[in-house]
Amino acid sequence: MEFNDEQLERYSRHILLKDIGIEGQEKILDGRVMIIGAGGLGAPIALYLAAAGVGHIGIADFDKVELSNLQRQVIHFTGDIGKRKVDSAAEKMKAINPGVDVAVYGDYLNSRNIRDVIRDYDFVIDGTDNFASKFLINDACVFEGKPFSHGGILRFDGQTMTVLPGATPCYRCIFNSPPPANSVPTCSQAGVLGPVAGMLGTIQATEALKFLTGAGELLAGRLLIFDAKTMRFRTAEVRKNPKCPVCGDHPTITELADGEQAICDLKH
Protein backbone atom coordinates (compact mmCIF):
# COMPACT_ATOMS: atom_id res chain seq x y z
CA MET A 1 0.00 0.00 0.00
CA GLU A 2 0.99 3.60 -0.54
CA PHE A 3 1.36 5.74 2.56
CA ASN A 4 0.08 9.28 2.20
CA ASP A 5 1.95 12.23 3.72
CA GLU A 6 -0.26 12.32 6.77
CA GLN A 7 0.40 8.64 7.49
CA LEU A 8 4.14 8.98 6.92
CA GLU A 9 4.26 11.74 9.49
CA ARG A 10 1.82 10.20 11.96
CA TYR A 11 3.64 6.88 12.03
CA SER A 12 7.17 8.22 11.51
CA ARG A 13 8.44 7.02 14.91
CA HIS A 14 7.34 3.48 14.09
CA ILE A 15 8.69 3.67 10.57
CA LEU A 16 12.08 4.71 11.95
CA LEU A 17 12.29 1.51 13.97
CA LYS A 18 14.36 -1.11 12.19
CA ASP A 19 12.07 -3.86 13.52
CA ILE A 20 8.89 -2.14 12.34
CA GLY A 21 9.57 0.11 9.35
CA ILE A 22 7.08 0.72 6.54
CA GLU A 23 6.40 -2.98 6.27
CA GLY A 24 5.59 -3.34 9.97
CA GLN A 25 3.39 -0.26 9.93
CA GLU A 26 1.48 -1.75 7.00
CA LYS A 27 0.88 -4.88 9.05
CA ILE A 28 -0.39 -2.72 11.93
CA LEU A 29 -2.75 -0.88 9.58
CA ASP A 30 -4.02 -4.23 8.31
CA GLY A 31 -4.30 -5.63 11.84
CA ARG A 32 -7.49 -6.58 13.65
CA VAL A 33 -7.41 -6.65 17.45
CA MET A 34 -10.28 -7.41 19.83
CA ILE A 35 -10.13 -5.81 23.28
CA ILE A 36 -12.42 -7.42 25.86
CA GLY A 37 -13.12 -4.89 28.59
CA ALA A 38 -13.03 -1.09 28.32
CA GLY A 39 -11.89 -0.60 31.90
CA GLY A 40 -8.53 -0.21 33.62
CA LEU A 41 -6.63 -2.42 31.19
CA GLY A 42 -8.78 -1.77 28.13
CA ALA A 43 -8.32 2.01 28.45
CA PRO A 44 -4.56 2.20 27.79
CA ILE A 45 -4.74 -0.73 25.38
CA ALA A 46 -7.39 1.00 23.28
CA LEU A 47 -5.59 4.36 23.34
CA TYR A 48 -2.24 2.91 22.30
CA LEU A 49 -3.61 0.59 19.64
CA ALA A 50 -5.66 3.40 18.09
CA ALA A 51 -2.65 5.71 18.22
CA ALA A 52 -0.50 3.01 16.62
CA GLY A 53 -2.92 2.74 13.73
CA VAL A 54 -4.28 -0.78 14.25
CA GLY A 55 -6.70 -0.75 11.34
CA HIS A 56 -9.64 -2.48 12.96
CA ILE A 57 -10.19 -2.57 16.71
CA GLY A 58 -13.10 -4.25 18.47
CA ILE A 59 -13.95 -3.25 22.01
CA ALA A 60 -16.43 -5.05 24.26
CA ASP A 61 -17.94 -3.96 27.56
CA PHE A 62 -21.53 -3.78 28.71
CA ASP A 63 -20.89 -1.32 31.54
CA LYS A 64 -21.48 2.39 31.82
CA VAL A 65 -18.85 4.88 33.00
CA GLU A 66 -19.00 5.52 36.76
CA LEU A 67 -17.18 8.09 38.88
CA SER A 68 -15.15 5.36 40.63
CA ASN A 69 -13.75 4.24 37.23
CA LEU A 70 -11.98 7.52 36.52
CA GLN A 71 -9.09 6.96 38.95
CA ARG A 72 -7.57 4.49 36.46
CA GLN A 73 -9.71 4.12 33.31
CA VAL A 74 -7.98 6.97 31.53
CA ILE A 75 -9.96 6.72 28.29
CA HIS A 76 -13.10 7.94 30.13
CA PHE A 77 -13.49 11.54 31.25
CA THR A 78 -15.68 13.13 33.91
CA GLY A 79 -18.16 14.25 31.27
CA ASP A 80 -18.58 10.62 30.15
CA ILE A 81 -20.16 9.43 33.40
CA GLY A 82 -23.32 7.55 32.53
CA LYS A 83 -22.29 6.85 28.91
CA ARG A 84 -21.68 3.33 27.69
CA LYS A 85 -17.97 2.59 28.13
CA VAL A 86 -17.68 1.31 24.57
CA ASP A 87 -19.06 4.58 23.18
CA SER A 88 -16.85 6.71 25.41
CA ALA A 89 -13.80 4.63 24.41
CA ALA A 90 -14.61 4.65 20.69
CA GLU A 91 -15.00 8.44 20.74
CA LYS A 92 -11.47 8.94 22.16
CA MET A 93 -9.95 6.35 19.84
CA LYS A 94 -11.43 8.07 16.78
CA ALA A 95 -10.30 11.44 18.13
CA ILE A 96 -6.72 10.20 18.43
CA ASN A 97 -6.75 8.51 15.07
CA PRO A 98 -9.66 8.98 12.66
CA GLY A 99 -8.00 6.40 10.40
CA VAL A 100 -8.89 3.40 12.55
CA ASP A 101 -12.15 1.47 12.43
CA VAL A 102 -13.66 0.80 15.82
CA ALA A 103 -16.37 -1.83 16.31
CA VAL A 104 -18.20 -1.64 19.64
CA TYR A 105 -19.78 -4.60 21.42
CA GLY A 106 -21.89 -3.09 24.17
CA ASP A 107 -23.88 -6.17 25.12
CA TYR A 108 -22.90 -9.17 27.16
CA LEU A 109 -20.20 -11.30 25.66
CA ASN A 110 -20.94 -14.85 26.71
CA SER A 111 -20.25 -18.46 25.92
CA ARG A 112 -22.81 -18.39 23.11
CA ASN A 113 -21.40 -15.46 21.14
CA ILE A 114 -17.73 -15.05 22.06
CA ARG A 115 -16.39 -17.48 19.45
CA ASP A 116 -18.26 -15.73 16.65
CA VAL A 117 -16.97 -12.36 17.84
CA ILE A 118 -13.28 -13.25 18.16
CA ARG A 119 -13.18 -15.23 14.91
CA ASP A 120 -12.96 -11.97 12.94
CA TYR A 121 -9.82 -10.79 14.74
CA ASP A 122 -6.10 -11.57 14.51
CA PHE A 123 -5.39 -11.09 18.20
CA VAL A 124 -7.52 -10.88 21.33
CA ILE A 125 -6.72 -9.02 24.55
CA ASP A 126 -8.22 -10.00 27.88
CA GLY A 127 -8.81 -6.80 29.84
CA THR A 128 -11.34 -8.28 32.27
CA ASP A 129 -10.99 -8.52 36.01
CA ASN A 130 -12.78 -11.70 36.99
CA PHE A 131 -11.88 -15.33 36.69
CA ALA A 132 -15.03 -16.54 34.92
CA SER A 133 -14.28 -14.15 32.04
CA LYS A 134 -10.58 -15.03 31.93
CA PHE A 135 -11.26 -18.76 31.66
CA LEU A 136 -14.00 -18.17 29.10
CA ILE A 137 -11.68 -16.03 26.96
CA ASN A 138 -8.89 -18.61 27.27
CA ASP A 139 -11.11 -21.51 26.24
CA ALA A 140 -12.75 -19.60 23.38
CA CYS A 141 -9.33 -18.54 22.04
CA VAL A 142 -7.94 -22.09 22.33
CA PHE A 143 -10.96 -23.49 20.45
CA GLU A 144 -10.65 -20.84 17.75
CA GLY A 145 -6.85 -21.08 17.61
CA LYS A 146 -6.78 -17.36 18.30
CA PRO A 147 -3.62 -15.81 19.82
CA PHE A 148 -4.37 -13.68 22.85
CA SER A 149 -2.92 -11.74 25.74
CA HIS A 150 -3.99 -12.67 29.25
CA GLY A 151 -3.73 -9.93 31.84
CA GLY A 152 -4.71 -9.41 35.44
CA ILE A 153 -4.17 -6.74 38.07
CA LEU A 154 -4.97 -6.43 41.75
CA ARG A 155 -3.79 -3.91 44.35
CA PHE A 156 -0.13 -3.27 43.34
CA ASP A 157 0.34 -6.44 41.30
CA GLY A 158 0.14 -7.29 37.63
CA GLN A 159 0.38 -10.52 35.70
CA THR A 160 0.39 -11.19 31.96
CA MET A 161 1.17 -13.84 29.39
CA THR A 162 0.67 -14.20 25.65
CA VAL A 163 -0.88 -17.43 24.42
CA LEU A 164 -0.43 -18.91 20.96
CA PRO A 165 -2.94 -21.77 21.12
CA GLY A 166 -1.48 -25.12 20.19
CA ALA A 167 2.09 -23.83 20.33
CA THR A 168 2.48 -22.31 23.79
CA PRO A 169 0.89 -22.86 27.22
CA CYS A 170 -2.60 -21.52 27.79
CA TYR A 171 -3.99 -19.94 30.95
CA ARG A 172 -5.46 -23.28 32.05
CA CYS A 173 -2.07 -25.00 31.61
CA ILE A 174 -1.00 -22.94 34.65
CA PHE A 175 -4.26 -22.25 36.48
CA ASN A 176 -6.36 -25.33 35.86
CA SER A 177 -9.74 -23.92 36.86
CA PRO A 178 -11.22 -20.80 38.41
CA PRO A 179 -10.75 -20.43 42.18
CA PRO A 180 -13.90 -20.86 44.26
CA ALA A 181 -16.23 -17.87 43.91
CA ASN A 182 -15.28 -14.99 46.21
CA SER A 183 -12.03 -16.68 47.37
CA VAL A 184 -9.97 -14.10 45.48
CA PRO A 185 -11.09 -10.49 45.68
CA THR A 186 -11.58 -8.33 42.58
CA CYS A 187 -10.33 -4.76 42.17
CA SER A 188 -13.75 -3.48 43.17
CA GLN A 189 -13.39 -5.33 46.47
CA ALA A 190 -9.66 -5.00 47.20
CA GLY A 191 -8.65 -1.92 45.23
CA VAL A 192 -5.92 -1.27 42.67
CA LEU A 193 -3.38 1.51 42.26
CA GLY A 194 -4.43 3.42 39.13
CA PRO A 195 -1.16 3.38 37.17
CA VAL A 196 -0.78 -0.38 37.73
CA ALA A 197 -3.60 -0.77 35.21
CA GLY A 198 -1.63 1.39 32.80
CA MET A 199 1.57 -0.59 33.37
CA LEU A 200 -0.09 -3.89 32.58
CA GLY A 201 -2.30 -2.60 29.77
CA THR A 202 0.62 -1.02 27.94
CA ILE A 203 2.49 -4.34 28.12
CA GLN A 204 -0.52 -6.05 26.57
CA ALA A 205 -0.76 -3.41 23.82
CA THR A 206 2.96 -3.91 23.15
CA GLU A 207 2.40 -7.64 22.76
CA ALA A 208 -0.41 -7.02 20.26
CA LEU A 209 1.85 -4.80 18.14
CA LYS A 210 4.70 -7.33 18.36
CA PHE A 211 2.30 -10.05 17.29
CA LEU A 212 1.03 -8.05 14.30
CA THR A 213 4.50 -7.02 13.12
CA GLY A 214 6.53 -10.06 14.14
CA ALA A 215 8.96 -7.76 15.97
CA GLY A 216 10.82 -9.13 18.97
CA GLU A 217 9.94 -12.10 21.09
CA LEU A 218 6.44 -12.57 22.46
CA LEU A 219 5.72 -13.18 26.10
CA ALA A 220 4.57 -16.68 25.19
CA GLY A 221 5.58 -19.54 27.46
CA ARG A 222 6.57 -16.92 30.01
CA LEU A 223 4.37 -15.50 32.73
CA LEU A 224 5.36 -11.95 33.63
CA ILE A 225 4.57 -10.88 37.17
CA PHE A 226 5.34 -7.54 38.74
CA ASP A 227 4.91 -5.96 42.13
CA ALA A 228 4.70 -2.20 41.78
CA LYS A 229 5.36 -1.73 45.51
CA THR A 230 8.92 -2.99 45.16
CA MET A 231 8.96 -2.45 41.38
CA ARG A 232 10.28 -5.93 40.86
CA PHE A 233 9.46 -7.72 37.62
CA ARG A 234 10.03 -11.40 37.03
CA THR A 235 9.17 -13.85 34.30
CA ALA A 236 8.50 -17.49 35.06
CA GLU A 237 9.05 -19.97 32.24
CA VAL A 238 5.94 -22.08 31.84
CA ARG A 239 5.38 -25.21 29.77
CA LYS A 240 2.38 -26.67 28.05
CA ASN A 241 0.69 -28.98 30.50
CA PRO A 242 -0.15 -32.37 28.96
CA LYS A 243 -2.91 -32.62 31.56
CA CYS A 244 -4.41 -29.24 30.67
CA PRO A 245 -8.18 -29.72 30.53
CA VAL A 246 -8.51 -27.61 27.38
CA CYS A 247 -5.27 -27.94 25.36
CA GLY A 248 -3.68 -31.07 26.89
CA ASP A 249 -3.37 -34.57 25.43
CA HIS A 250 -6.80 -35.66 26.61
CA PRO A 251 -8.93 -32.53 26.98
CA THR A 252 -11.96 -32.80 29.23
CA ILE A 253 -13.31 -29.41 28.14
CA THR A 254 -14.29 -29.56 24.50
CA GLU A 255 -16.88 -26.81 24.33
CA LEU A 256 -17.75 -23.66 26.22
CA ALA A 257 -20.01 -24.27 29.19
CA ASP A 258 -23.40 -22.85 28.43
CA GLY A 259 -24.56 -21.50 31.74
CA GLU A 260 -24.89 -18.65 34.14
CA GLN A 261 -21.29 -19.11 35.32
CA ALA A 262 -19.86 -18.59 31.89
CA ILE A 263 -21.57 -15.25 31.38
CA CYS A 264 -18.80 -12.78 30.88
CA ASP A 265 -19.20 -10.14 33.53
CA LEU A 266 -16.89 -7.45 32.26
CA LYS A 267 -17.28 -5.12 35.22
CA HIS A 268 -14.05 -3.50 36.09
* Binding residues vs Zn ion (CB under 5 A): 170, 172-173, 244, 247
Cα 249 to Cα 84: distance, rounded to the nearest angstrom: 42
Q: How far is the CB of 92 from Zn ion (least distance, A)?
A: 35
Position closest to Zn ion via CB: 244
Q: In this structure, how many other beta carbons lie within 10 angstroms of the beta carbon of residue 203?
A: 21
Nearest approach, Cβ of residue 267 and Zn ion (Å): 26
For the CB of residue 169, give the shortest distance to Zn ion in the complex, in Å: 6
Closer residue to Zn ion in complex, CB, 108/175? 175
Task: List the one residue out of 40, 76, 47 whose CA is nearest residue 187.
Answer: 40
Q: How far is the CB of 140 from Zn ion (least distance, A)?
A: 13
The Cα–Cα gap between 101 and 205 comes to 17
- Nearest approach in angstroms of CB 101 to Zn ion is 32
**Which CA distances in Å does 215 have to 21, 33, 186, 209, 239?**
10, 16, 34, 8, 23
Nearer to Zn ion, 45 or 141 (CB): 141
Reading phi first (left if > 0) and then psi (alpha if -120 to 50, else beta), residue 130 is in: beta
247 or 264: whose CB is closer to Zn ion? Answer: 247
Q: With DSSP H G I counted as helix, E B as strand and the rest as coil, what are the percentages for the chain, rounded to 5?
A: 35, 20, 45
Q: Which of 222, 208, 213, 220 lies closest to 59 in space, CA to CA?
A: 208
Q: How many CB atoms lie within 10 A of CB 115?
A: 16
Nearer to Zn ion (CB atom), residue 93 or residue 140: 140
Give the residue with the Cβ less far from Zn ion, 253 or 263.
253
